[in-house]
Structure 1
Amino acid sequence: MKKEYLIYKLSDEVKNSCKIPREAFGEYGVKRGLRNEDGSGVLVGLTNIGNVIGYERDDDGTLKPSAGKLYYRGYELNDLVEPLLHEKRFGFEEIAYLLLSGQLPDEEELAAFRELLNDNMLLDHRTTVNIIDLEGSNIMNILARSVLEMYTYDPNPDDISRDNLMRQSIELIAKFPTIIAYAYNIYRHSVQGRSLHIRHPLEGKTIAENFLYMIKHEDYTELDARMLDLLLIIQAEHGGGNNSTFTVRVTSSTRTDTYSSIAAGIGSLKGPLHGGANIKVVNMFHHLKEYISDWKNIDEIDTYLYRLLNKEAYDKSGLIYGIGHAVYTMSDPRAVQLKKLAGELAKEKGREEEYEFLKLIEQEGVKCVTAFRKSTKPVCANLDFYSGFIYEMIGLPEEIYTPIFAMARIVGWTAHRIEELNFEGRRIIRPAYKNILSPKAYVPLSER
């Protein structure tokens, strides 16, 4: 039997071996995707870190849609972001301190923490060389491999004491921007044939400033850097139930090393249904700009959006990317903030017309999805709807959109790992799967 045919035959047999009737999940009381029938998540753990609120419950337990809220260590996201916008200062390091420790730092603590992160941004020379050797690879994969490689250079990689976990967390938060920037510059050289530039992070600069410097040298504005800083803050944490953070907590519950656990989280975030969704929105927006002639004509916009939903246009997925969320109903607080930021940046970049068009896509997209699904549950624009547009206006390439998400979310991942390994009564996370296949009688090889 030819090897190529064997692969086809094995693949074809999977069609039958993987068949599980949809109704069987209800019959056995299985919560598909760890979701309840009303759309809420199955409660699998407790946390003091992030809190995601997209609905309320009536006295009878019925879900009631509400304006979305996101809390970091008990502080509402808006209360953390608004002072930064008002004072026009950088805040990602401050939020990282809060998420790791549970406390907002004072000025002295913040200055010391920023210096500590800055000191740890440089990579081991061997890591830099290995990134160069991985030219042309997917940047998320390079990030995961580089994280696993850090295990080799860590003098105490398997120690899960609180002090060692904090040291590893700070090093990961500091090194993610450098790994991503170096990996992109190698990609730019090997795939696009551009000049190779490896710029080391500068002292006294924030993570957002240093990242833009390593990617773009001096080709960025102060507003660009502050927008990136706020994007990092908004994406730093989203509760323990999102797929990548849950992946980190599940792997951490086995007491594996930090680098293996974080690499697993990176693999989860890479998926197009999770961190890769922002690229989907940007590409869809480019398509809509080309195929909708009048960007102010509501009827034309609605007609084309219904074509998307009917799988008649664009990628025929039946989706309007960036509309809808598993938890948020009436609004996603991250999207609300990003919408304002996008407007401010659009003025500086002379892209107000595109911004107004994107707002109309959001407005009409919500209406069209609700009507098309004939659902009483409200839908809203999510984080991804505006984030890609902001990245694009800053001048960042789409190859690093998802890696930037990881650059932000490493803060939440490490905070949840520390919590998973330090609360009382911790146990390995081990849910159950019901096998519904009837027993079979063994058939000897000669009789098959």
Structure 2
Amino acid sequence: MKKQQDELTGFAENIDDLANRLKNALNKLEERKAESPDAPGNQLGNSQQEKQPTPYREKIGKLSGEVVDSNPYSRLMALQRMGIVQDYEKIREKTVAVVGVGGVGSVVAEMLTRCGIGKLILFDYDKVEIANMNRLFYQPNQAGLSKVEAARDTLIHVNPDVEIEVHNFNITTVDNFDTFVQRIRQGSLTNSRVDLVLSCVDNFEARMAVNMACNEENQIWMESGVSENAVSGHIQYIEPGKTACFACVPPLVVASNIDERTLKRDGVCAASLPTTMAVVAGFLVMNTLKYLLNFGEVSHYVGYNALADFFPRESIKPNPFCDDNHCLIRQKEYEARKASETIDLEIQEPEEEPVVHEENEWGIELVDESEPVLSSESPNNSGVAEGLKFAYEPAKKDNVSGDLSPAQAATHDLMQSIKDKLVQEAQKK
């Protein structure tokens, strides 16, 4: 009996030992999976992790205008050498939030990344689909990934100097809206307010959410959109209190409080062209660069009609009866600022800065494009088109008889012939 008990005790100890060894083996296997996200059976965790891809180069500390093949900023710094931008390197201090990284927003994010923006904050809740491949930026192998993480993984390889923060959620929900407002307040590189918000969404509900947040925070932003037929679009600069907000002149769907989701029909989708979206994205980024780097003229509204190549530009004033209460508050603040500004009647002529250009072997120089180039030696009064002149000057004719009547001209010719005969006779003598 005792022998059987000893055997059972030994058998139980062996089972416990095997169980502990199996448990240790499973723990080691889990650790290996955690260290290798690409291992079989761990694909789902890979798409959700915050793992940053390894960039192809080290970060660059200071921008250089040196013209070498290995310098990614040489063409950008040329804007500074040519006098277009005073200090291009300031772009590395700027933070831009992009809401919606679809057909327009993803191209906007890529352009800003290539321009060397300091920080991008991307907001979107959608996933990459094969149906998105008619647009630019995303690749078929990214299908199924969230758009913000797919965009981040691509942009880090384009320019590792740019800091990219992503948020995979819908800003129109209450909790996510609060997070969105908080990132506007503290999302910059210095944990302060962002420099600009860009709306690249495809629905009015999200536009109204961005509008509400920016009116509350007195945040300058730019709105963009492409029509459902894919042949027109627009961008709009919105400064709370100074220009019309999105609620000041709302679309019919918004003004009528219609749920736009009820307008969608099964099997019917909006058209989209990569060309139209690229044009709108280009306008939006150019306006963004002009605003951030303080050059050129920031457009308040630019439209685009591809069918007629029509580009209307407007400036829309705020609506004093806007439905957004914060917009009305910003309007009063703006009017108070204008009233307190002193008017300086002394007009000073701006000093013309010399045009800066690099010497080159082809003799190409920059000229002022605001005035036509004419020859300083002879004014253009010959009747030919501007910029052209005759190879030689025609001989001037005696136009004395051209201003006389027929009788006076005949008398003039007769007196001239008599004068010539008298001269000939005098020479003979």
Shorter-chain TM-score tier: under 0.3
Structure showing greater Rg:
2
Return the TM-score normalized by structure 1: 0.21
Higher percent of residues as strand: 2
